[in-house]
Chain A
């Protein structure tokens, strides 16, 4: 993210040594090092120092604000992330140990061993959670759930069960969901999100690209809905992206199956309608979507853009080409205009689409050199006119003070 100071820390810009710098050095840097550099934290710290230096905010207040942010449950913590990564590595090590040792130990002993591991992980997690050791508890929950997946694979191998990989993945996903619900665990929500991706991966690999047979892949949106429900229930907003991206990946897969202009058109229409529904304050869904932050509007907008890109590829002929290009430019401007102020992700996507479409238009040739030249002239004038509109729009967006209600 580029901000006004171009990402250069204020300390390098020759701000005279005075109170605010002392504040930044003592509090800001100290906390920053301790907590790790999360992007939002870095930005808020820089802004707070700026406001302190301009006298808008007192140093103790800024200090208190940062301390409040750092005290939040799910603010970034290097320690907690490392703990979870360690949990994943340990789970992998345990599973490989059990798998590799398979002649030395009788089969039933291996089964008892892995079941004991599952119980140990969940019970220790419960103990930790009961004593308020939430980070360690979450790591143990992740280990227990990953071990269960390994146990399914191990039992399948040891007993030569030629069972279906999809069934095994679905059972694993369901188990992760159940554990997420009963523990109300954010870490397990993320695990469930990744497992929903694994289910999709196995389905695509098993089916190849075939419409017939194995209808389960058409139920994949249900998995996305399940993950989003878990996200809302546990309040793990970052895991939301896993579900939205899976939905888009699945739609992309469906499009590979049915590569038809009408489907691309539906993607565009549905994406744009959803974008409007989640971005226009008058929409009945606005408040519901707003609870999920920038994601619903952004991913809906992205779907509309994907539909337009597919239409660009599908449509031939000058007339349709020009129509789609015009719609694309209009949509990118609409995205910036409607959601650009509150939603940085939509704004940058809008800019990127606008730039991409302009380059595409500029590279279109019309057969003869004269025709191409004429096209460049027209597109130059049109693009200049649109650029002027965008600059006006931009000025309005940044010049206007933030409105009260969102």
Chain B
């Protein structure tokens, strides 16, 4: 085995600063991309739905599912992709008299903005066409399906979620990205999210 001491590429101090700056910048980007959604977005109140199997508390986060997570086939406009492909849906949300927002229209292409409605984009997913039996509903994610809670507090949220007493206020920015702003049980705020 040949052993040589290799000369470093740059001086260690410069290397340290370069690496630390890059890593800090990435962490800052992660935090700011979320904060900008909360800062500029519009509120939508969402109803959560129970999840099967019920025990989905993993570590310290609660998995949330919403009634807008399931897109019924009759709301889909503009047709389906004909081949299996990476897809992303554009979902129009409309406010109901009870204050909750529901899906009024969804498409695999971008939807145009319309007053009184908000367009949210789903996370990318893989779509398989089923020509003989069209899907009754498509399950989608919005990037607000996970909520981390302090150790031991997850169970309260889980129970509320499974009793359909949990509501979530999310913010949607102009590009259709969502972040959780507030979690409430029976209408009473439980967790309110600061920007940073």
Contacts and interface: CB of A to CB of B under 8 A. Distances in A.
Interface of A: 72-75, 100, 102-103, 107-108, 111, 114-115, 118-119, 122-123, 125-127, 129-130, 137, 144, 148, 151-152, 155-163, 171, 175, 178-179, 181-184, 212-214, 233-235, 237, 293
Interface stretch (B41-49, B72-80, B95-103, B146-154): B146-154
Contact of A212 (B3, B22, B84, B194): B84
Given A111-B31, A181-B9, A157 B148 contact: yes
Contacts of B11: 126, 130
A123 B14 CA distance: 9
A218 to B, nearest CB: 14
Contact of A118 (B12, B20, B34): B20
B24 A115 contact: yes
A161 B34 contact: yes
Contacts of A137: 12
Interface stretch (B110-118, B137-145, B157-165): B137-145
Nearest to A171: B26
Interface of B: 1-20, 22-24, 26-27, 30-31, 34, 60-61, 84, 86, 123, 126, 128, 141, 143-148, 150-151, 179-180, 193-194, 196
B3 A235 contact: yes
Nearest to B127: A213
B12 A155 contact: no
Nearest to B18: A182
A72 B128 CA distance: 58
Contacts, number: 126
18 contacts: A75-B3, A102-B150, A107-B194, A118-B20, A123-B20, A125-B12, A127-B13, A129-B12, A144-B20, A160-B180, A162-B143, A175-B19, A175-B26, A178-B19, A179-B15, A182-B10, A182-B14, A237-B1
The 5 A-B residue pairs with the shortest CB-CB distance, nearest first, are A213-B126, A126-B16, A126-B12, A182-B15, A122-B16
A134 to B, nearest CB: 9
Interface of A is mostly: helix
Contacts of A72: 3
A115 B30 CA distance: 13
A213 B85 CA distance: 8
Contacts of B18: 182
Contacts of B180: 160
Residue among B2, B10, B16, B84 with most chain A CB within 10 A: B16
A152 B12 contact: no
Nearest to B35: A159
Contact of B6 (A123, A126, A213, A235): A235
Contact of B86 (A114, A122, A148, A213): A213
B16 A125 contact: yes
Nearest to A148: B23
A111 B28 CA distance: 9
B178 to A, nearest CB: 10
